Amino acid sequence: MKKRKPSYIRKEYIWAYLFVAAPVLGFLIFGVAPLLYSAWLSFTSWDLVTPPEFVGFENYVEVFHDEKVYKSLYNTVFMMLGIPIGMVVALLLAIMMNRPLKGISYLRTIYYLPVISPIIAVSLLWQWILNQDFGLLNQTMWSWFGIEGPNWLGDASWIKPSMILMGVWGGVGGTMVLYLAGLQSISSTYYEAAEVDGANAFQKLWLITIPLLTNIHFFVIVMGVIGAFQSFSQIYVLAGDGGPEYSAATVVFYIFENAFKYFNMGYASAVAWVLGVIIFIVTLIQFRLSKKWVYND
């Protein structure tokens, strides 16, 4: 015979469900429902004006033959080069910042400032700095080193490096803070033991610091890759048409153009699903691989 739960426990259940009701509803309304709707849309052709028409796998077939999909995917992945660059710079900064220096909190704030600044403002500021003729960067290179700078945003081969440069400048402070927290959790006994064994500074970095921060490396990479796959705003400002030869367009930019400029809702949904699946698979692979290299205490 099944015993009924005492009434005060049942009452508590009801309260608990009431407390989690809002996020669960939000999850259904703004998560699950759009997901299903989007899946259906991806099998239709729809311009928002005439009624949607079911086209089967046509959109997906087109995605795989669409040069712009490959191009924007390539651009997106290329710009991920900023992730390792940012990690190296952030780690070095964090190691230096981990010393008891005077005024260190001011320095930290300065490096963190770009992280909190609106990406639109940051993009506009870089648009001015990267201006070919009058931008600060080319002006400085010319007057200090006599180097004639490239047309950063107007040249198909320079626009991606420009984006990476801006991304590293903008993101390094955030990564640095993560590393700083990680460094502070490493017990000093490891370093003391290494010193007894006569390890030099480089060996301590390579054999203790870097390996003991693997959970942070992992977090930074996973979040960085997901973030890069979704980057949009800076492209919208700095390369409103996708850049010269479409060389700055990211996948999300391409989805946005299809959906809200050309009103190809069905096709845009199909591209979005392909992107979603790619992000999912890449993240899954990273978690699988992480078992081989991430330490967890």
**Contacting other proteins within 163-192 (CB under 8 A):** 169, 173-174, 177-178, 180-182
Q: Restricting to residues 140-159, which ones interact with other proteins according to CB under 8 A?
A: 140, 143
List 3, 4, 6, 19, residue binding other proteins (CB under 8 A): 19
Among 120, 207, 281, 289, binds other proteins (CB under 8 A): 120
Binding-site size for other proteins (CB under 8 A) equals 92
CB of 22 to other proteins, least distance (A): 5
Is position 287 an interface residue for other proteins (rule: CB under 8 A)?
no
Site for other proteins in 76-115 (CB under 8 A): 93, 96-97, 99, 101-102, 107-114
Identify any residues that bridge with 45 across adjacent strands, giving them in sequence order: 53
Can residue 211 be called a binding residue for other proteins (CB under 8 A)? Answer: no
Q: What is the DSSP string of 112-126?
A: HHHHHS-HHHHHHHH
Residue 69 interacts with other proteins (CB under 8 A): yes or no: no
Minimum CB separation of residue 61 from other proteins in Å reads: 19
Residue of the chain from 68, 78, 256, 286 that contacts other proteins (CB under 8 A): 256
Residue 159, Cα to own-chain centre: how many angstroms?
A: 18
Closer to other proteins at the Cβ: 73 or 265? 265
Task: Assess 210 for contact with other proteins (CB under 8 A).
Answer: no
Of 190 and 219, CB closest to other proteins: 219
